[in-house]
Amino acid sequence: MLIATKVRGRVGSGPNELGLSRLHIMRQVEASLKGLGTDYIDLYQIHNRLTDWEDTLRALDDLVRSGKVRYIGCSNLFAWQIMKARGISERNGLHAFKSNQVYYSLAARELEREIIPAMQDQKMGLLVWSPLAGGFLSGKYSREQQGSDEDRHTKFTFPPG
């Protein structure tokens, strides 16, 4: 069994609580390890990023070197962001992102233009989220049947912008 989870950026009141600060990443990974009842995480992903790339990548690299995380990945990064992060990793001898988790479905194939070619060039894995476009492609929704106010599809715009 492989274990994958992600750290989400956070906007707090102090300098160590903004985005993906080292302190925030370290707190989140410890909470994940405890909550999952494991000594390591196979794939640890960042979701969004408000802090300096190098600071974020150094913290993630330390987690890999310590054995708490085996591989690092990202979520919803554009091709230029992937290449920038990988350049910083290479320049500083840091572990690089091995995967990108992105929204991809028959209803939204934009990532085929730039993101997938960049990932192929960098030999990165692709993880897809919401391949059924929030239930739209499942046939659950139509012009006549929009769903209830509680349905995820009505709370989140598909395709996301």
**Number of separate domains in the chain:** 2
Question: From CA 159, how far away is CA 161, in angstroms rounded?
Answer: 6
Indicate left, alpha or beta for 76 from its phi (over 0: left) and psi (-120 to 50: alpha).
left
Residue 71's Cα: distance from chain center in Å?
Answer: 12
**Does 140 share its domain with 101?**
no
Q: What are 102-154's pLDDT values in tens digits?
A: 888 777 778 889 999 999 999 999 998 776 666 666 677 666 776 776 666 56
In the chain, what's the furthest Cα-to-Cα distance? 55
Tokens describing residue 80 = 């230029």
Q: What are 60-112's pLDDT values in tens digits?
A: 999 999 999 999 999 889 999 999 999 999 999 999 999 999 888 777 778 88
Question: From CA 1, how far away is CA 99, in angstroms rounded?
Answer: 18
Cβ atoms 91, 104 nearer than 8 A: no
Question: From CA 121, how far away is CA 125, in angstroms rounded?
Answer: 11
Model pLDDT, residue 152: 62
Alpha helices in 37-132 (DSSP H): 53-66, 79-92, 115-121
**Does 28 share its domain with 103?**
yes
Look at the chain and count its residues.
161
Question: From CA 130, how far away is CA 142, in angstroms rounded?
Answer: 17
Pairing mode, if any, of strands 97-103 and 69-75?
parallel
Tokens describing residue 95 = 């572990």
**Does 55 share its domain with 107?**
yes
**Does 95 share its domain with 143?**
no
Model pLDDT, residue 133: 65
Look up the CATH number of the domain holding residue 40: 3.20.20.100
**Does 112 share its domain with 158?**
no
Q: What are 3-51's pLDDT values in tens digits?
A: 999 886 655 544 444 567 888 899 999 999 999 999 999 999 997 666 6
Domain that holds residue 148: 134-161
